Structure 1
Amino acid sequence: MTGTQPFVLAEQALLGALLLEPSRIDSVRPHLRPHHMYRPAHAALYRALLDRPPDPGLTMADRTMALVRDAGAHAAGITPVYAHTLMAACPRPRHALVYARMIVEAADHRLVREHAVRLGQVAAADHARDGLADTLTHHRHLHRVLDDLHRRRPDHDTATSTPAVPTPELNPEPPLPGNLDDEQALIGALILDPAPMSALSRWLTPADFADTAHATLYRCVHALVLRGEPVDSLTLAWEAQHQGAFAAGDGGLTPELVAHIATSGMPADVDYRARRVLRAYVLRTAASAAAAVGTHAGDPTLSTSRLVTAARTALTPLDDALARRHNAITATKAPFTHTPPTTTATPWCTGVATWPTTGPDPTNPTAAHGPRSGRRP
């Protein structure tokens, strides 16, 4: 945008109105604080206006000079000439409260953007150092800011004039090499022993995987376990073929890659690897969500209420991932018991064909990998 920003013009107009008609400070005071001002000089002058109540015994010139002295002690740029410039910049002193609302709305946008930038920065730092704590802290801070704005700002929008704000399309954060190692180790361990899959699928979804091929294999393992089928490199490739993964070229998935991952698999702490996969997804999602919120905060067409709604929508994938992470932590505190597969699909596995089989009891790890009495033609 070229020229002076409208919110800066609003700051000038408001200060001019208060210099021209000091009594209007009482209507503005409850809604506007000095920190809402963008320019430090404007904040200093507004603070001086708040601290110096109107004095009928002073002329406008004397009062203006006193305010200039008070503000000049805290910020540069406030001179008698600039005070007269502010007065000339005010279209209508009686519109002071509207000017104040414009200033506050711009400050709301800056506040949300500031917290979104912090969230993105700490997510990137946590991703690099294998942490998560700072991301969780700043995620909570951003939600508190949005909740506070929702409570304090009246909604001037109507349902018919405020269409939903689409979340901007952003490039996902690239995974680190260690993230892909965790994913492959998890898939390999599940091929060796798919027993934990039923419990795992309650909080880890294919979308949590950074690598498309790994996500497809995780979905295929779940589909086999869901139907009570045995899991090995061949049955996994068979299921991937039935899901169209080879034809679609999901992440470069081939029968040879399936065999490689299956044969390179080693017994591992499945829960540990799965939580690391989810943690990496949380951090990637936090970075993307922060960027989306920052984009919304930089959109001057959004009122505060619409900004809050759009920001909350952008944070929804991160909120969901953190809720599943909480479920994962809760699940690991309870002793693990394997639940026999059922024909009820989890939400991310709906649409997978199920049919009765005559194979061994899937709760028996030894029998689950033995010969089957009923084979598919």
Structure 2
Amino acid sequence: MPHTPEPDEDDDFDLAPAPKPVHYAEQALLGALLLAPTRLADTEPLIAHDFDNHTHAALFTAIRTLPPPDPADHAKDTAWLNAVLDHARPHAPGLSASYLHALIQFCPQSKHAAAYARMIRADNARRILRGHAERLASTATDPGLPNPVATTLGLADDISRVLDALAEQFAPHPGPFPRTALPADVPRQAGEEDLDEERLLLATATAHPAEAQQMRWLTETDFLLPLHAALWQSITALVHRGDMVDPVTVLGEAQHRGLLTDSLTPKDLMALVSTPAGSPEYWGEKILKRAFLARAQTVAVRITAYTDDPANTPHQLITGSRGALADLNALRTRWNRATAPTIVSTASAPARSTPRPRAEPPHRPPVTPARAHR
């Protein structure tokens, strides 16, 4: 069946993008309702906001707003169609009587109105989820936010609530996990300041191993530089074994792990872990925050990929998006452990929660030669 043009559609069809499947579903549904207004009951819980096309949404609003005509009268004249047109035209000025009649002609089967409505709702669910994913990605990369982790967590919670709501609207069905080819993780940019913070963590953890022992919330996957991740593993391995920790013992552990190379000499490694400043937890939080925001961006990209794949059903969108969020929730748990308040109690005062102290360095120490190693 040939494409029925929109009332304000460009005549140059070669330049216009091909209509999406939902466009035809909207036309078919509106044709069904204009032909048989009693079919409106079959469309619940569809609302005008679910439509992708503004003119179609205006028409649907008019159909829902006006009292349905008597079937016998509707079969004999166009009075109700004219009333629908008059109600919708202020919101869609290009709408014409000929387009209403074209919609009626376009509808294959008015008794299939419920199926058309489900297609429209499914497409709207895709758009809603994509919009939330785009906001998540934008927030995770916004350098101007005062508390980016908290804001990002709030948006992740919003997505979870959207998924819960969609799960109630679309019944689950047997089927595979989305087969969408997912993009690679968003590459993490390693700026010099970021690498400096990783080096300072290594040096400060070497100087204060007791504090590093409490930092199980930080893992090697959070580091930008593989060498720094391996050195963090060396330090924490010494700590967890109860061994002595200082630049020389860290050097020995690094040697056993095969980290020494022509470009990283023993002297370089000892210099790298010998310039502490502040507390390990202070630098660790910075590293974890950076890893969290990078993961949030990757999650957003993956959810967007699911929504951009038209082969995914609403159930597959929900399943795939929840799987993507699970990765972020694992980091959320570690972030909450890192920033949880400590409990301080005295004999004369009740126990109270206080923020976990973070010793910031008084000033950034000068960059040592070892910091040139990447």
Give the TM-score, by structure 2 length: 0.80
* 2:116 match: 99
Using the alignment, how far apart are the partners of 1:255 and 1:82 within structure 2? 79
1:200 is aligned to 2:215 = yes
Using the alignment, how far apart are the partners of 1:111 and 1:131 within structure 2? 22
1:300 is aligned to 2:310 = yes
Cα distance, 1:288–1:175 mapped onto 2, change above 3 Å: farther
Which of 272, 284, 299 in structure 2 is aligned with 1:261? 272
Cα distance, 1:99–1:60 mapped onto 2, change above 3 Å: farther
Shift of 1:234: 3.4
CA contact (8 A) 1:22 1:54 kept: yes
Shift of 1:163: 3.7
Shift of 1:134: 2.2
* 2:201 match: 186
Counterparts of residues 224-373 of structure 1 (less than 5 Å): 224-246=238-260, 255-263=266-274, 265-330=275-340, 332-334=341-343
Deviations 1:143-180 (A, max 9, x none): 1111111122212x31xx32454654233332444332
Using the alignment, how far apart are the partners of 2:89 and 2:214 within structure 1? 66
Structure 1: unaligned runs, 5 residues or longer = 336-377
CA contact (8 A) 1:15 1:87 kept: yes
Shift of 1:88: 2.0
* 2:29 match: 14
Shift of 1:68: 1.2
Which of 153, 160, 172 in structure 1 is aligned with 2:187? 172
Letter in 1 for 2:214: A
Shift of 1:127: 7.2
CA contact (8 A) 2:163 2:318 kept: yes
* 1:349 match: none
Letter in 1 for 2:302: A
Shift of 1:181: 2.5
Using the alignment, how far apart are the partners of 1:253 and 1:313 within structure 2? 40
Letter in 1 for 2:245: V
Give the TM-score, by structure 1 length: 0.80
SS at structure 2 position matched to 1:162: coil
Deviations 1:200-224 (A, max 9, x none): 12x1111111222211111111111
SS at structure 2 position matched to 1:132: helix
Which of 89, 96, 101 in structure 2 is aligned with 1:72? 89
Q: CA RMSD of the aligned region, Å?
A: 2.4
* 1:84 match: 101
CA contact (8 A) 1:191 1:233 kept: yes
Using the alignment, how far apart are the partners of 1:78 and 1:257 within structure 2? 74
Shift of 1:31: 2.0
Structure 2: unaligned runs, 5 residues or longer = 1-15, 345-374
Cα distance, 1:119–1:60 mapped onto 2, change above 3 Å: farther
Cα distance, 1:163–1:139 mapped onto 2, change above 3 Å: closer
- Percent sequence identity over aligned pairs: 31
SS at structure 2 position matched to 1:65: helix
CA contact (8 A) 2:207 2:276 kept: yes
Using the alignment, how far apart are the partners of 1:215 and 1:207 within structure 2? 7
CA contact (8 A) 1:35 1:43 kept: yes
1:50 is aligned to 2:64 = yes
Shift of 1:267: 3.8
Using the alignment, how far apart are the partners of 2:265 and 2:105 within structure 1? 73
1:162 is aligned to 2:176 = yes
SS at structure 2 position matched to 1:195: helix
Cα distance, 1:77–1:238 mapped onto 2, change above 3 Å: farther
CA contact (8 A) 1:173 1:288 kept: no
Give the total of aligned pairs. Answer: 326
Using the alignment, how far apart are the partners of 1:242 and 1:165 within structure 2? 42
Cα distance, 1:200–1:54 mapped onto 2, change above 3 Å: same
**80-89 vs 230-239, which deviates more?**
230-239
Cα distance, 1:60–1:287 mapped onto 2, change above 3 Å: farther
CA contact (8 A) 2:126 2:307 kept: yes
Cα distance, 1:129–1:261 mapped onto 2, change above 3 Å: farther
1:115 is aligned to 2:124 = no
Using the alignment, how far apart are the partners of 2:201 and 2:212 within structure 1? 11
1:149 is aligned to 2:166 = yes
Letter in 2 for 1:230: M
Shift of 1:296: 0.8
Letter in 2 for 1:99: Y
